[in-house]
């Protein structure tokens, strides 16, 4: 049995504001020497530069991942991978505040939220540590002539290319690296160009934990350069992608060269259905934060709010009051509830939807504009926004905005609500608020989405699968079936007579 390497000391290179990327166990710059900047979206200040990796760097990282997969890493027993994952989880505990601050300053999520994501990250690492020693095939009785024993083996799929967005860099990284390490795969991860810093910090933790060189590689760069090169690479066995549906489609096309396996966690336009019998005191804040948390930059944002007609006006009034009371500012302040949008580009995108809502005839109940008072002017802040009198065909009711915008849509009957809720190309998540247990069961069956939350929202657990229906993607993260995404099943026959 090989013993996992003893932990090495942190050796993260911090050269002024420049951070290197991590390939084959070493901190390196892009072969081209190019760099790119990353900004704090709350202040507009450049906080660091990182290498702008491209095809050549992806080539080196994939080669390192292949060498590790074929070499030392293949000799790690499940128990050793378990010990390594538990050690990584302990280091995440130790560095959790630093990790949380890194996400907050790089992409704006309020520190109260980044700190609270602990179970989604550390719980996930420990869950997969447990799973590492539970992988097994089956002995299967066959009907072949003679005596032949048949059984299956579960084998790691190989080199995994992981491409992640900016809206939850820590969780997105660990939801890819954790199952890869549990199953014995190696990884080349490309963070978003908008938020590359925490994945580099995570590389440092992997290093500190003693993950062998080449097992986890982080290549920073743009989607068009590094991302596309990874998706196309003939030496990559699987791509696991979280991001927009349009990019997911281009990744599927790019995967055709070697027919690599692909799993996709994509966008959404999730419905929240509030029935007249709901407990409104509880439903108002949960429905509001289903969108406003992380300023709407959440794949599962419940951005289509269906409210039963008899309570519609009261509910919208209370929702607007709640939205106006939210504390907006730099997420590094623990009192902040709503932070900035990640970039100027995202700000422009959200602004275009605010204009479209007004132009298409929706009624602006609250919000609807960029915030420019005092220090907010330097960042990308948008007021939490509620539109009423929205119809199903308006752009704000059909397209993913990825900003703090709720579109309220009244309904009369539950059948009508379900039909309209399902009338979308997406199927990521849904919320239902009711006190009636039969309604809860009926709606959770009829809604075509990968997650349905009743009288709650955002509940995510390492043991429960998460993923999309329809154009929200395929494959699941979380739960036992997550590991199947990283495994091949081999049938073996041995003649014994």
Task: Kindly indicate which of the ranges 56-64, 67-75, 106-114, 244-252 contains the residues binding ligand NAD, using the contact rule CB under 6 A.
Answer: 244-252
Q: Which is nearer to ligand NAD, 150 or 222 (CB)?
A: 222
108 binds ligand NAD (CB under 6 A): no
What character string, x for contact with ligand NAD (CB under 6 A) and - otherwise, covers 461-480? -------x---xx-------
Q: Which is nearer to ligand NAD, 106 or 400 (CB)?
A: 400
| Shortest distance (Å) from residue 291 CB to ligand NAD | 12
Using CB under 6 A, pick the residue from 20, 66, 176, 190 that binds ligand NAD.
190
Beta bridge partners of 159: 186
| Shortest distance (Å) from residue 458 CB to ligand NAD | 12
251 binds ligand NAD (CB under 6 A): yes
| Distance spanning both ends of the chain, measured CA to CA | 33
Catalytic residue among 193, 225, 265, 400: 265
CA distance 321 to 168: 28
Task: Kindly indicate which of the ranges 186-194, 355-363, 380-388, 411-419 contains the residues binding ligand NAD, using the contact rule CB under 6 A.
Answer: 186-194
265 binds ligand NAD (CB under 6 A): yes
Q: Which is nearer to ligand NAD, 135 or 421 (CB)?
A: 421
Task: Kindly indicate which of the ranges 20-28, 44-52, 163-171, 212-220 contains the residues binding ligand NAD, using the contact rule CB under 6 A.
Answer: 163-171
Give residues 276-305 in contact with ligand NAD (rule: CB under 6 A). Answer: 299
**Active site (annotated) includes residue 265:** yes
Q: Which is nearer to ligand NAD, 82 or 242 (CB)?
A: 242
Task: Kindly indicate which of the ranges 19-27, 265-273, 303-311, 431-439 contains the residues binding ligand NAD, using the contact rule CB under 6 A.
Answer: 265-273
Task: Kindly indicate which of the ranges 98-106, 218-226, 278-286, 373-381 contains the residues binding ligand NAD, using the contact rule CB under 6 A.
Answer: 218-226
410 binds ligand NAD (CB under 6 A): no
Q: Which residues of 28-51 are buried (b: 16+ CB within 10 A; e: fewer)?
A: bbbeeeeebebbbbbeeeeebbbb
CA distance 320 to 299: 22
Using CB under 6 A, pick the residue from 212, 223, 404, 478 that binds ligand NAD.
223
Pairing type for strands 469-470 and 426-427 reads: antiparallel
121 binds ligand NAD (CB under 6 A): no
242 binds ligand NAD (CB under 6 A): yes
214 binds ligand NAD (CB under 6 A): no
Q: Which is nearer to ligand NAD, 242 or 439 (CB)?
A: 242
7-16 long-range contacts, CB within 8 A, separation 24+: 7/87, 7/208, 7/209, 7/210, 8/207, 8/208, 8/210, 9/208, 10/204, 10/207, 10/208, 11/204, 11/207, 12/200, 12/201, 12/204
Provide the annotated active-site residues.
Answer: 265
Give me the residues that bind ligand NAD (CB under 6 A), please: 163-167, 190, 192-193, 222-224, 227-228, 231, 242-244, 247, 250-251, 265-268, 299, 400, 402, 428, 468, 472-473
């Amino acid at each position: 049995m090989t013993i996992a390497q003893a932990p090495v000391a942190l050796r993260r290179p911090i050269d002024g504001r420049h951070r290197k990327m991590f390939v084959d166990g070493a901190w390196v710059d892009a072969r081209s020497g190019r760099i790119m900047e990353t900004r704090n979206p709350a202040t507009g200040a450049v906080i660091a530069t990182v290498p702008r990796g491209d095809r050549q760097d992806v080539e080196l990282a994939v080669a390192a991942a292949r060498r590790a997969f074929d070499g030392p890493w293949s000799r790690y027993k499940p128990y050793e991978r378990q010990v390594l994952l538990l050690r990584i989880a302990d280091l995440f505990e130790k560095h959790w505040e630093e990790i949380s601050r890194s996400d907050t300053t790089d992409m704006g999520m309020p520190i109260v939220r980044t700190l609270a994501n602990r179970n989604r990250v550390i719980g996930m690492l420990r869950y997969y540590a447990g799973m590492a020693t539970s992988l097994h095939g089956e002995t299967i009785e066959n009907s072949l002539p003679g005596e032949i024993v048949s059984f299956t083996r579960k084998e790691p799929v190989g080199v995994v290319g992981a491409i992640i967005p900016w809206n939850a860099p820590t969780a997105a990284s660990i939801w890819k690296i954790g199952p890869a390490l549990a199953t014995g795969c190696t990884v080349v991860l490309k963070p978003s160009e908008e938020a590359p810093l925490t994945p580099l910090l995570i590389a440092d933790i992997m290093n500190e934990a003693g993950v062998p060189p080449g097992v986890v590689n982080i290549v920073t760069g743009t989607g068009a350069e590094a991302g596309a090169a990874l998706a196309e690479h003939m030496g990559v066995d699987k791509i696991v992608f979280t991001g927009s549906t349009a990019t997911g489609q281009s990744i599927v096309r790019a995967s055709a060269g070697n027919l690599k396996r692909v799993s996709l966690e994509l966008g959404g336009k999730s419905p929240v259905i509030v029935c007249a019998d709901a407990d409104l005191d509880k439903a108002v804040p949960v429905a509001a934060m289903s969108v406003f948390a992380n300023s709407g930059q959440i794949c599962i944002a419940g951005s289509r709010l269906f409210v039963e007609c008899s309570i519609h006006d009261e509910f919208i009034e209370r929702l607007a009051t709640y939205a106006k009371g939210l504390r907006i500012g730099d997420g590094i302040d623990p009192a902040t509830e709503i932070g900035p949008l990640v970039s100027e580009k995202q700000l422009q995108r959200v602004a275009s939807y605010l204009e479209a809502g007004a132009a298409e005839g929706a009624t602006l109940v609250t919000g609807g504009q960029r915030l420019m008072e005092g220090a907010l002017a330097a960042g990308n802040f948008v007021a939490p926004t509620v539109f009423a009198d929205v119809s199903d065909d308006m752009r704000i009711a059909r397209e993913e905005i990825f900003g703090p915008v709720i579109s309220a849509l009244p309904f009369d009957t539950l059948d009508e609500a379900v039909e309209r809720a399902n009338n979308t190309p997406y199927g990521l998540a849904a919320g239902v608020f009711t006190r009636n247990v039969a309604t809860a069961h009926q709606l959770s069956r009829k809604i075509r989405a990968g997650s349905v939350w009743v009288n709650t929202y955002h509940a995510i657990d390492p043991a429960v699968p998460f993923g999309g229906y329809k154009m929200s993607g395929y494959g699941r993260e979380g739960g036992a079936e997550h590991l199947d995404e990283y495994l091949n099943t081999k049938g073996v026959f041995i003649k014994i007579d």
